[in-house]
Amino acid sequence: MASHIVGYPRMGPKRELKFALESFWDGKSSAEDLEKVATDLRASIWKQMSEAGIKYIPSNTFSYYDQVLDTTAMLGAVPERYSWAGGEIGLSTYFSMARGNATVPAMEMTKWFDTNYHFIVPELGPTIKFTYASHKAVSEYKEAKACLLDQSHTCCFLNLPRVWTNRSLSFHFLGSILPIYKEVVAELKAAGASWIQFDEPTLVKDLDAHELAAFTSAYAELESSFSGLNVLIETYFADIPAENYKTLTSLSGVTAYGFDLVRGAKTIDLVRSSFPSGKYLFAGVVDGRNIWADDLAASLSTLESLEAVVCKDKLVVSTSCSLMHTAVDLVNETKLDDEIKSWLAFAAQKVVEVNALAKALAGQKDEAYFAANVAAQASRRSSPRVTNEEVQKAAAALRGSDHRRATNVSARLDAQQKKLNLPVLPTTTIGSFPQTMDLRRVRREYKAKKISEEEYTNAIKEEISKVVKIQEELDIDVLVHGEPERNDMVEYFGEQLSGFAFTANGWVQSYGSRCVKPPIIYGDVSRPNPMTVYWSKTAQSMTSRPMKGMLTGPVTILNWSFVRNDQPRFETCYQIALAIKKEVEDLEAGGIQVIQIDEAALREGLPLRKSEHAFYLDWAVHSFRITNCGVQDTTQIHTHMCYSNFNDIIHSIIDMDADVITIENSRSDEKLLSVFREGVKYGAGIGPGVYDIHSPRIPSTEEIADRINKMLAVLDTNILWVNPDCGLKTRKYTEVKPALTNMVSATKLIRTQL
Ligand code: GLN
Ligand code: ZN
C-alpha cells in the first residue's frame, strides 16, 4: 500500500522563502543567496516526506513565484514587452513577468480556482511562439533524486502543472505546446523518472464536448512519449462531472488517476460504479485545503471500501490536492493551547497522516497513533468550547425562513435622505486611510504590552481626528474613521468573536512572496462584547457629518478563514451573521446612521460547479441580509465589493438589498456599466470606483469627471455615489490627498452641470 503527496507549501515553516525573495528583490542579497535558501527548503521537504515513509514524493512543486508562471517559462511564452533574448529563462525575465520592472508592468494575476492563491495568467496572443525555455522541471527532478538517493525510496515525480490553466490557455495553442511537453517528458525519462504527474484540475469544471475532445486528443498525442513511464493525472477541488470522468478514465496511455475525495462525495460514487481495471487510484482522502486533523478511522473505512474496486497494490493514499493551501507546520505554533492543537494538522502533520493510513491499509496499523486520533476527534466533538447551545438554536431558527428589511429600498432611501440631507452625487471613501509606519508601531507595541491601554487609545483617537479633519477639509460628504485600529479586516473581528483561534505561523501563500494567516473557526460563533462601537462613536463625535460604521460581513469572514468541517459552511456563516447583526444594532443604537458591511469576498466563495452556484448565493446573500434586517428605515446600510465582474451574479447582488453598494470598477468601466446598459434595473445607491487605488498614480480632475459622466449615461443621477475603488490603506498620504481632492473637484464640477 503506497502513499503520495500532491504538492507541498514552498514558503517554508517560517516563511524563509518570502524573506529571501524580498531581500533579493531589494538588492540586499544575491541570486546565489536566494538559490541556497530555495535548495535547502526543497531538500528539507523531500527528506521530511521520505522520513515519514511517503512512497511517491513530488518534485517540481517548488516555485520562486508561481507554478503557472513556471509553466509559461517552460513553454517560452514570454510576452514581447519583456524583451527576452531567448535561451534559458533566468530570474530577471521571470521576476519581470511576475512583478513588472522599471519600464514594463507585470503580467495579470488571477485566483487559482476557488482558492485564495493567485497565479500569473499566461498571455497567448496571435504572435506567440513556443520554445522549451525553462528546464526547471527536469533539474528539480534530478535534484530530488540526488537528495533521496541514499533513501529507500525509488519513485519521484514531476508535477507539470496542467496544460489547461483555464480557458485563456486556449485549446487553439495545444498543437504548438504539446511538442514541448514531449521534450520535457523525454528528458525526465532520460533522467530516470518512472512516474510523471500531470495536474489537470480544470477537469472538475463544467467542460463542453469540444473541450473534452481537445483533452482526449492532447493526451493521445502525448501517449507515444509515455511508454515506459507511469503517468498520473491529478484532479482536485471539487467533484468531477460524470462526462469528464468518463473522458479521463478512457485515456489509454495513462496509468493512474488522482481524485479529491474530500470535496468529491459524488466522485467516489463514480469510482465505485466503474474504475478502469489495472489502473492506479490515488485516493485524496486527507484534506489539503484546511487545517483539521483527519478523521483517520473514517478515511480508513473509505479506503477499505475502495479495495472492492481497485486491487490492493494499485490503491494509493493521497492528499485531496496540493498541501500548499494549508499552513506548514503545527510544531511552530506556540500560541495555541494543547487541546486545540490536538484537533489540527498542518502540511507536515498531513504527510504523516497519509502515510499512517497507507500503513494501516497494509495491515501495519500504528495503534497508538490511531488511538490518539480517535481521542482528539472525540474531544473536538464534545468540547464545551466548540458548542454553544444558544448560538446553535438561534442559527437553526434562521434556516428556511427569509430575513429582509420591511420597507423597499426606494422608500428607505427617501427616509434616509430626509435625515442625512446629502448633496446629489454624494462623495465617500471605502474605509481605511493610509496605514503609516507609526500606526503599525503603535498597534504592535500595544499588542506586546509595551504601551498602556490609555496611550494606545489616545494614539488611535489622534489618528481618527486627523483623518476626520482631512476629510472635512476635502469636503467629503460621508466620512470614515480610517480603520487605524485594524491590522486586517477579518482578523480584527475574529479576535473579538468567540469560536475563533489564531496561529503564530499559519501562513498560506497568496501570491508571490505574499502570505495570509487565516483565522481558524473552531466553534460556534458569538459576540461577547461590542467590537467597533467605541471607535465609531468616538469618530462620530468629532464631526457633524455622517460617519460610517465599518464592519466586515459574514461571508467575507467565512471565506477568508479556515472553517470548521463538522457542520455545513452555511451554518457557520449564519452564526457569524447573527454576531454581526448584534454589532449593527449596537452601532445604530449608538447613533451611527450609516453602516457599511464589507463583503469583499462574496464572489470568491462561488463554487466551481455552476450547478452549485444558486445554493451558495442563496445562503450567502441571506447571511448578509440577516446582519441588517432589523435596522430602521432611516439607517443607511452600505456594502462594498472588490471586483467589478459581477455580471453573472447581479441579481444576487440586488437581492442583498443594501441601500448603497460601492464596488471596484476603475480598471474597466465597460464591464460593470454594461450590466446596467443591458437593462438591469438597479434602484439602490451605487458607487462604482472612480479611480484605481492599487496604483500610486494620481488621477486628474478631468479624468474622474469623464468617468462620472460615463456612469451618468447609464445610471440615474439620484443613485450615483462617487468614491475610490477600495480602501486606501496601502497608499501614501501624498497620493491620497491629491487624488481625493481631484475626486471632490470633479464631483462638484459635474454637480454644476446637472
Ligand atoms: N473597509 C475596508 C477598507 O477600506 C475594505 C477593504 C476591502 O474591500 N478589501 O480597507
Ligand atoms: Zn475593496
Question: 513-551 pLDDT, tens per residue?
Answer: 999 999 999 999 999 999 999 999 999 999 999 999 999
3-state secondary structure of 665: coil
- Residue 195 assigned to a binding site: no
Does the C-beta of 551 come closer than 6 Å to ligand 1?
no
Strands 256-260 and 280-286: parallel
Under 8 Å between Cβ of 494 and 572: no
Q: What is the pLDDT of residue 161?
A: 38
CA of 597 to the centre of ligand 2 (A): 11
Q: How far apart are CA 550 and CA 57, in angstroms?
A: 47
Ligand nearest to the CA of 728: 1
Task: Indicate whether residue 431 lines ligand 1 (CB < 6 A).
Answer: yes
**Residue 642 CA: which ligand 1 atom is closest?**
8
Is the C-beta atom of 489 inside 6 A of ligand 1?
Answer: yes
Average pLDDT over the chain reads 93
Burial of 217 (0-12, 13-18, 19+ CB in 10 A): middle
- For 662, residues 6+ apart whose C-beta sits below 8 A from its C-beta are 428, 430, 596, 638, 639, 640, 641, 686, 687, 688, 689, 721, 723
Q: How far apart are CA 586 and CA 699, in angstroms?
A: 38
Task: Give which of 394, 645, 364 is closest to 525, Cα–Cα.
Answer: 394
Q: Which ligand is nearest to the CA of 664?
A: 2
Interhelix angle 296-306/367-382, nearest 10 degrees: 120
**Sign of the dihedral through C-alpha 744, 749, 752, 754:** negative
Q: What is the 3-state secondary structure (H, E, C) of 258-298?
A: EEECCCCHHHHHHHHHCCCCCCEEEEEEECCCCCECCCHHH
- Cα distance between residue 35 and residue 29, in whole Å: 11
Q: Is 430 annotated as a binding residue?
A: yes
Name which residue leads in pLDDT, 704 or 161: 704
For the annotated catalytic residues, the residue numbers are 694
Decide: 9 in ligand 1 pocket, CB within 6 A: no
Q: Report pLDDT digits (tens) over 718-732.
A: 999 999 999 999 899
Dist. CA 362–CA 352, nearest whole Å: 15
Q: How far apart are CA 662 and CA 429, in angstroms?
A: 9
The string of pLDDT tens digits covering residues 89-110 is: 999 999 999 999 888 888 988 8
Q: Is the CB of 286 under 6 A from ligand 1?
A: no
CB 627 within 8 A of CB 584: yes
Average pLDDT over residues 231-237: 93
Q: Could you tell me if residue 76 is left (phi over 0), alpha (psi between -120 and 50 degrees) or otherwise beta?
A: left
| Ligand 1 pocket mutation, candidates 116, 428, 430, criterion most atoms within 8 A of CB | 430
Q: What are phi and psi of 498, to 5 degrees?
A: -80, 150
Q: How far is the CA of 322 from the centre of ligand 1 (A)?
A: 30
Distance CA 494, CA 526 (A): 10
The predicted pLDDT at position 56 comes to 92
pLDDT at 176 over 90: no
Is pLDDT above 50 for 294?
yes
Look at residue 416 and tell me whether its pLDDT is greater than 70: yes
> How many Å from the N-terminal Cα to the C-terminal Cα in the chain?
75
Complex ipTM value? 0.99
pLDDT score recorded for residue 175: 84
Is any ligand 1 atom within 6 A of the Cβ of residue 598?
Answer: yes
The predicted pLDDT at position 669 comes to 61
Atom of ligand 1 nearest to the CA of 431: 4
- Amino acid, res. 233: I
Mean pLDDT of 321-338: 95
Q: Is 430 in the pocket of ligand 1 (CB under 6 A)?
A: yes
105, 544, 726, 727 from 462: Cα distances, Å? 38, 18, 23, 20
Q: Is 7 annotated as a binding-site member? A: no
Q: Which atom of ligand 1 is nearest to the CA of 432?
A: 4
pLDDT in tens, 481-517: 999 999 999 999 999 999 999 999 999 999 999 999 9
Gyration radius (Cα) of the chain, Å: 27
Ligand 2 centroid to residue 430 C-alpha, Å: 7
Q: Considering the entire predicted model, what is its pTM?
A: 0.94
For helices 733-753 and 701-712, the axis angle rounded to 10 degrees is: 50
Least confident range of 132-141, 203-212, 422-431: 203-212
Cα–ligand 2 centroid distance for 429 (angstroms): 10
Residue found under cell 452555511? 570
Those residues whose beta carbon sits under 5 angstroms from the ion ligand 2 are: 600, 642, 726
Please tell me if the CB atom of residue 638 comes closer than 6 angstroms to any atom of ligand 1.
no
DSSP β-ladder status, 156-161 and 118-120: unpaired
For range 232-238, the mean pLDDT: 94
- Nearest ligand to the C-alpha of residue 430? 1
What counts of helices (H) and strands (E) characterise the chain?
26, 19
Q: Is 170 annotated as a binding residue?
A: no
Query: Residues 624-636: what's their mean pLDDT?
Result: 98
Q: Could you tell me the sign of the dihedral formed by the alpha carbons of 73, 79, 84, 85, in that order?
A: positive
Instruction: Read off the pLDDT of residues 52-86 as tens digits, 9 standing for 90 and up.
Output: 999 999 999 999 999 999 999 999 999 999 999 99
Does the C-beta of 727 come closer than 6 Å to ligand 1?
yes
Q: Does position 157 have pLDDT exceeding 50, yes or no? A: no
Q: How far is the CA of 726 from the centre of ligand 1 (A)?
A: 6
Given ligand 1 and candidates 116, 478, 483, which is best to mutate, with the most ligand atoms within 8 Å of its CB? 483
How big, in percent rounded to 5, are the helix, strand and coil portions of the chain? 45, 15, 40
Spatial distance between the Cα atoms of 44 and 630, rounded to a whole number of angstroms: 54
CA-nearest residue, atom 9 of ligand 1? 600
Quote the pLDDT of residue 459. Answer: 98
Q: Is 655 annotated as a binding residue?
A: yes
Average pLDDT over residues 644-658: 89
Mean pLDDT, range 610-614, rounded to an integer: 93
Q: How far is the CA of 218 from the centre of ligand 1 (A)?
A: 43
- What pLDDT was estimated at residue 667? 65
* 483 marked among binding-site residues: yes
Q: How far apart are CA 444 and CA 633, in angstroms?
A: 40
Q: Where are the alpha helices (DSSP H) in 448-545?
A: 453-474, 491-494, 533-541
Q: Could you tell me if the CB of 459 is within 6 A of ligand 1? A: no
Asked if residue 640 belongs to a known ligand binding site, the reply is yes
Q: Which helix (H) or strand (E) holds 111?
A: strand 109-111
Strands 118-120 and 109-111, by their bridges, are antiparallel
497: CA distance to ligand 1 center in Å? Answer: 19
- For residue 679, report the phi and psi dihedrals to the nearest 5 degrees: 100, 10
